[in-house]
Amino acid sequence: MNGIQMQPYDPRIDHLLDPSFLSQVLPWFDDFLLYIQREREKIRQADIGGKYNTKAAGFSPSGKVHAVYEMPTMVKNYVDGIDKSILKDQKKRDAFLKNHPEYDLRVTR
């Protein structure tokens, strides 16, 4: 592979989902980013760990994990339009969220 790391999903997605670009073209996107920050803080404050004592936070009192990601419908439709499996396939979703932490609701303690 000559040292080139293959991306598990279509790289065209990254081009148009850059937060600075979206903030310029979508007047409400900055408010969405603030919403994500508040949701992460709520999850951190709940500080309920999983039953296997991992460093992940964000479990509800019943032991179920909260949502993994949150994104506006139009952004999700764009992602699905290029590759419907990104948000369903865990490997692709994790790679996507690593490149786009602005949508990631997972937190660690």
Domain for residue 39, yes or no? yes
Domain for residue 81, yes or no? yes
Checking if the pLDDT of 29 tops 90, the result is yes
Boundaries of domain holding 39:
28-108
Domain count across the chain: 1
- Considering 6-15, 37-46, 52-61, 89-98, the range whose residues carry the highest mean pLDDT is 89-98
Averaged over 87-104, what is the pLDDT?
Answer: 89
Q: Tell me which long-range contacts 32-40 makes (C-beta under 8 A, separation of at least 24).
A: 32/72, 33/102, 35/70, 36/70, 36/102, 36/103, 36/105, 39/70, 39/105, 40/105, 40/107
3-state secondary structure of 65: strand
Would you state the pLDDT for residue 4? Answer: 46
pTM to 2 decimal places: 0.69
Domain for residue 42, yes or no? yes
Domain for residue 7, yes or no? no
DSSP 75: H
Q: How far, in Å, CA of 42 to CA of 86, rounded?
A: 26
Domain for residue 13, yes or no? no
Residue 69 near residue 105 (C-beta atoms within 8 A): yes
Domain for residue 11, yes or no? no
